[in-house]
Homo-oligomer: A and B are copies of this chain.
């Protein structure tokens, strides 16, 4: 039986949500812009649309809008915005009304918050994440046909975001109010949801909600055309003696059925490379629910998930650039956390002895002790 959605749930606004088209870009704060530029441009092959001393604007090979990733120099590695494109300029008014009704902080920038983008709205959503919405954007050359510029590991599209949040059912309910649909999720026998994949565009997701102390950013994902492109990225990292940037994979996901790889950038921000999920655009698209005890849900080949993948994530910023405080995963009776012998946290005490790869709740984040990043 699913847990009751109680007083802690976010009310559904009367105002309709903005019509969101797709995840469009992430703004990442990085502590060493040159190092990050090297990683995303020289290693991963993202294309520089524009850059200056403070920021680099990058896009994927098949993109025609100004950017899919902004790297901005800053004092602490964090996420400044999860940005979505909406279907028309008018949707920005809807975004303002929707979040204002929820009591969220809302700011509008008629000239845009970044280069290349016009009228935009940024909010801190009820889950604590900095979300952006925009329609106006500068068009740039779609490099799909420019095979002379493609690398063996060419990244062709921004595919999705992944967010860490302490109460997944609460987050899912809110995202559904925002117009997202669940395509897949992970549950236990009691119907508790440990993670959910949510889409606007007709792929498996534009974003996912992963249970853990939050708000934090788990990863941003780019797509390649084929599996060998992902392997080529690993091979290149090996050649550059940067194999430590490979955190997990490559492998095949159970959830989404995609072939994947997880990397960590110089600041520890996690980047997924992803290919070949499936069409989900029908209104009655069947939701796939995975058992949290199914060890093929996270990796179809049963390969174990490295602990850092469960424990580490990036802070997110408020609209003034201050890191958002992280709320511990809620300890209602359904969601209580027990630390297992493996160092992982579990929602049910009896689960604490389960193997690591049964863990789908990120362990409790200890304020003060948390150190973002992977030892590179």
Contact = CB atoms under 8 A, between A and B. Distances in A.
Given A234-B300, A238-B301, 20 more contacts: A22-B279, A64-B286, A85-B282, A145-B300, A146-B239, A147-B152, A147-B232, A147-B235, A147-B239, A150-B235, A150-B236, A151-B151, A157-B278, A201-B202, A201-B279, A201-B281, A231-B259, A234-B301, A238-B302, A250-B250
Chain A interface bracket (under 10, 10 to 19, 20 to 34, 35 or more) = 35 or more
A148 B234 contact: no
A253 B238 CA distance: 10
A145 B277 CA distance: 11
B283 A88 contact: yes
Contact of A239 (B88, B148, B284): B148
A187 to B, nearest CB: 18
A62 B150 contact: no
Give the one of A244, A252, A259 with max B CB within 10 A: A252
Interface string A109-126: 000000000000000000
Interface of A: 21-22, 62, 64-65, 85, 87-88, 139, 142, 144-152, 154, 156-157, 201-202, 225-228, 231-232, 234-241, 243-244, 246, 250, 252, 254, 257, 259, 276, 278-279, 281-286, 295-296, 300-303
